[in-house]
Amino acid sequence: MHATNYSYSKIVNLSFENALKKVTEELKKEGFGILSEIDVKQTLKMKLNVDFKPYKILGACNPPNAYKALQNEEQIGLMLPCNIVVYVNDNGKTVVSAIDPVASMKAVENPALGKIANEIQSKMKRIIDKV
């Protein structure tokens, strides 16, 4: 697994479609549902008539943790849901990547969110590890 200052990523030995299925399964195991799915390739083709690599953004939500976060910070919805991307990189390899919620919560100066962010961070790491 590769970490940046805002995400966890991993190249997987799966096709793009199979990686999407596996990510969805692992999200469910960790209590997440997918609220949104953005097909970047299709959108760019429709809006700009350009060809782009397979790239989907999944907006994942863990309802109990989202509820706790919203109770502690009314505008935290601006940072929800947690995004996971699945794409094919320039080398033709499938990549899965998840946001690091601890990094994104640093922008919000509310200590009550730290515990929630740490819990979601652990879940995201497990999801990426299992794909």
pLDDT digits (tens, 9 = 90+) for 12-54: 999 999 999 999 999 999 999 999 999 999 999 999 999 999 9
Per the DSSP assignment, residues forming a β-bridge with 7 are: 99
pTM over 0.75: yes
Residue labelled with tokens 């740490």: 118
pLDDT tens digits along 44-95: 999 999 999 999 999 999 999 999 999 999 999 998 999 999 999 999 999 9
Q: What is the DSSP letter of 15?
A: -
What residue type is assigned to position 124 of the chain? M
SS (H, E, C) 57-125: EEEEECHHHHHHHHHHCHHHHHHCCEEEEEEECCCCCEEEEEECHHHHHCCCCCCHHHHHHHHHHHHHH
CA distance 118 to 122: 6
The yes-or-no verdict on residue 2 having pLDDT over 80 is no
H or E stretch at 10: strand 7-12
CB atoms within 10 A of CB 117: 20
> Tokens representing 52?
């782009």
Residue-range domains of the chain with CATH = 2-130 (3.30.310.70)
> Tokens representing 123?
């879940």
Among residues 128, 74, 79, which one has the least CA distance to residue 103? 79
